[in-house]
């Protein structure tokens, strides 16, 4: 197997990243100490215990992410995995500096100072509000480039709008003047983009507006010693390997205003025979992109989210490292290590969740809650428009995967699509459901079968579809949304009650089977919840329902979402096979 080490860019930062490694490995701790000394500030304290808003500032995020990547590399080296075991190194945007430092081309001190300067220079190059960036999903680079050019041509002249990040075959980021970027959104949608959304960034990176920053970096790099890397660098701007120090210096300057050609870089490495890509650092974005650019052949092992190596690789080193961090799974090595339980509870940073029925009130609130807690979310449902609206509301880390749960082939494909979009499925929420009410004597076979197919059988198929990945990761959360009527029954809903009761029984059985693998399976059973369906009830019907509820009101979708968030979290790791009833006391079970 030929491997490449790849290093993430901005956006992967999270409070607490790398602390477990620093606690376990003196060499990893030394990285953070040296970066602190180089910058003359206690950056490590900000990384581990600071405020997310401060860490997100470009001048802090860039050296912080580099430090975390290098700390991870030092831990690997302590276990006998050297940088020279890779055929190539590469990094996404600022990750290119991490790659060069890892390969010995730049010193750690110089890299930290350069990235702090780079962050400040990029932030100061364009006044806040003048520039913008947007993600175009569903268009390739050529189409996105054409959209950007058309947006400039439609403007008053003198504006900039260009394709900035060629991330994967269906995800390109454009950058430039805000007005031009906003025009590009409408043009992209007209050209068939699945989504076109503004990104919450503070400046228009990787476009001609960054020329002042490029000049600042040229001056800074002129005073820094750059050595030939121990491992060839696949450069963002060139999308091929380089080793000459002068060429590397010039490409680092060009990178500031040039496009990040990540798709081409990964494709180039794959063409050279690379079959293992190890994502060294925080986050999981590169792993997901790589899967979409160059799907792994059967023998290859790809880096999983937040892992420093592929599953199964260097098993003895993995075992030693796990022992050093108290038995933690490698996916947790770069995760925040909670020091304040109130502040850290229910943190899903780096996790990926698939939520069905996300176009409805309860499903949408579940997706919002998981996303707010830090998870990437795959939004599934039959109605594409509300899914796309929700994805636009959530912004980054949201993916639309329309699916008709009555179609067995579509259901079987959904977990694979979610894993391809997000890198993995750590959390599955089976929320989707339908009703076809009728008295038992009048209920047709089709009314019975259709409800069980969507409400029960599709949940079985989705659970089965995500299990292999969860078992390999030795971590997973499955939350099935059942109903109070699955326990109490309800006239006219024999099919619905049977499906929901079956979901409870199925969940308990599965919980027995997978508990030893770190996977929990639980149910949430809502009572009467205020949704579009209950809004159709008249006042008399609502009053009659409320007399049955001791709390005297209907529940809110956000209250169901809160229950799901708990069961999806690390804090619920000892809860499995349970049904959490959220019904205002209507049935005290």
By the 8 A CB rule, do 433 and 487 touch? no
Question: Is 498 annotated to bind ligand?
Answer: yes
Specify the pairing of strand 352-355 against strand 427-430.
parallel
Catalytic: which of 496, 512, 566, 574?
496
At residue 192's C-alpha, the angle toward residues 92 and 362, to 5°, is 80
Do residues 254 and 278 touch, judged by C-beta distance below 8 A? no
- Cα of 347 vs its chain's centroid, Å: 13
Find all residues with CB under 8 Å of 231, minimum gap 6, and list them. 5, 83, 84, 86, 87, 88, 89, 103
Give the burial class of 41: count Cβ atoms within 10 A of its Cβ; 0-12 exposed, 13-18 middle, 19 or more buried.
middle
Helices (H), 138-261: 141-153, 178-190, 211-222, 245-257
499: annotated binding-site residue?
yes
How do strand 171-177 and strand 131-137 relate by DSSP bridges? antiparallel
Distance (Å) of CA 110 to CA 105, 230, 549, 578: 10, 17, 65, 53
Q: In angstroms, rounded to a whole number, what is the distance separating the alpha carbons of residues 493 and 54? A: 53
Q: Output the CA–CA distances (angstroms, integers) from residue 304 to 122, 422, 532, in the order listed.
A: 31, 10, 39
Which segments of 526-570 does DSSP mark as H helices, in order?
Answer: 532-535, 539-546, 557-568
Alpha carbon of 195 to those of 77, 139, 171: distances in Å?
42, 9, 10
First to last CA, the chain: 55
E runs forming strands in 393-444: 398-400, 427-430
Query: CA–CA separation, 196 vs 185, rounded Å?
Result: 5
Q: Is 497 annotated as a binding residue?
A: yes
Residue 529 is assigned to a ligand binding site: yes
Q: Are 309 and 76 in contact (CB under 8 A)?
A: yes
CA distance 8 to 87: 18
**280 among annotated binding-site residues:** no
- Catalytic residue flag (residue 496): yes
The contacts of residue 531 (CB under 8 Å, 6+ apart) are 360, 361, 362, 557
Token code pair at residue 445: 């076979």
Which residues touch 104 (CB under 8 Å, ≥6 apart)?
Answer: 83, 227, 229, 230
Closest CA to 430 of 414, 448, 413: 414
Contact 87, 3 (CB under 8 A): yes
Yes or no: say if 4 and 91 are a contact pair by the CB < 8 Å rule: no
Distance CA 535, CA 449 (A): 27
Q: Three-state SS across 482-527?
A: CCCHHHHCCCCEHHHHHHHHHHHHHHHHHHHHHHHHCEEEEEEEEC
Binding residues: 382, 431, 496-500, 529
Residues designated catalytic: 496
| Binding-site residues for NADP(+) | 382, 431, 496-500, 529
């Amino acid at each position: 197997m030929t491997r490449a080490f790849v290093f993430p860019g901005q956006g992967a930062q999270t409070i607490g990243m790398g602390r477990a490694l620093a606690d376990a490995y003196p060499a990893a701790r030394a990285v953070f100490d040296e970066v602190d000394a180089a910058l003359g500030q206690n950056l490590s304290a900000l990384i581990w215990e600071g405020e997310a808003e401060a860490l997100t500032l470009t001048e802090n995020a860039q050296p912080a992410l580099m430090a975390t990547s290098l700390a991870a590399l030092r831990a690997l080296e302590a276990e006998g995995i050297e940088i020279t075991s890779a055929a190539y190194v590469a990094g996404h945007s600022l990750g290119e500096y991490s790659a060069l430092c890892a390969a010995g081309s730049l010193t750690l001190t110089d890299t930290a100072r350069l990235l702090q300067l780079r962050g400040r220079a990029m932030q100061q190059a364009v006044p806040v509000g003048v520039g913008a960036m947007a993600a175009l999903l569903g268009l390739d680079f050529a189409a996105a480039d054409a959209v950007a050019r058309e947006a400039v041509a439609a403007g008053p002249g003198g504006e900039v709008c260009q394709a900035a990040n060629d991330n994967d075959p269906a995800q390109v980021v454009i950058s430039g003047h805000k007005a031009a970027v906003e025009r590009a959104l409408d043009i992209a949608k007209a050209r068939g983009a699945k989504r076109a959304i503004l990104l919450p960034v503070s400046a228009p990176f990787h476009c001609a507006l960054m020329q002042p920053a490029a000049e600042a970096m040229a001056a800074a790099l002129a005073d820094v010693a750059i050595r030939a890397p121990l491992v060839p660098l696949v450069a963002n701007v060139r999308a091929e390997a380089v080793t000459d120090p002068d060429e590397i210096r010039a490409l680092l300057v060009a990178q500031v205003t040039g496009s990040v050609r990540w798709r081409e870089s990964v494709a180039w490495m794959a063409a050279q025979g690379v079959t293992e890509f190890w994502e060294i650092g925080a986050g999981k974005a590169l792993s997901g992109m790589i899967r979409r650019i160059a799907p792994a052949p059967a023998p290859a092992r790809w880096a999983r989210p937040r892992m420093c190596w592929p599953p199964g690789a260097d098993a003895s080193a993995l075992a030693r490292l796990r022992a050093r961090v108290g038995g933690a799974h490698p996916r947790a090595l770069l995760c925040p290590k909670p020091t304040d339980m109130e502040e850290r509870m229910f943190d899903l940073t780096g996790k990926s969740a698939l939520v069905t029925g996300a176009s409805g009130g309860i499903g949408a609130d579940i997706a919002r809650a998981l996303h707010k807690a830090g998870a990437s979310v795959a939004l599934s449902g039959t109605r594409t428009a509300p899914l796309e609206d929700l994805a636009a509301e959530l912004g980054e880390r949201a993916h639309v995967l329309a699916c008709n749960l009555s179609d067995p082939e579509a259901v079987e494909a959904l977990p694979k699509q979610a894993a391809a979009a997000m890198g993995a499925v750590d959390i599955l929420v089976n929320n989707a459901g339908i009703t076809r009410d009728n008295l038992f004597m009048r209920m047709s076979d089709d009314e019975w079968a259709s409800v069980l197919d969507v409400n029960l059988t599709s949940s079985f198929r989705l659970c089965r579809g995500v299990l292999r990945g969860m078992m390999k990761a030795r971590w997973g959360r499955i939350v099935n949304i059942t109903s109070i009527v699955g326990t109490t029954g309800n006239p006219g809903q024999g099919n619905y009650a049977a499906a929901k009761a079956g979901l409870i029984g199925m969940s308990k059985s599965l919980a027995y089977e997978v508990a030893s693998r770190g996977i929990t399976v639980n149910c949430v059973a809502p009572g009467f919840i205020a949704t579009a369906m209950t809004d159709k009830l008249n006042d008399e019907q609502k009053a009659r329902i409320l007399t049955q509820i001791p709390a005297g009101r209907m529940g809110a979708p956000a209250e169901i979402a809160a229950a799901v968030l708990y069961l999806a979290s690390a804090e619920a790791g000892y809860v499995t096979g349970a049904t959490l009833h959220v019904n205002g006391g209507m049935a005290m079970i």
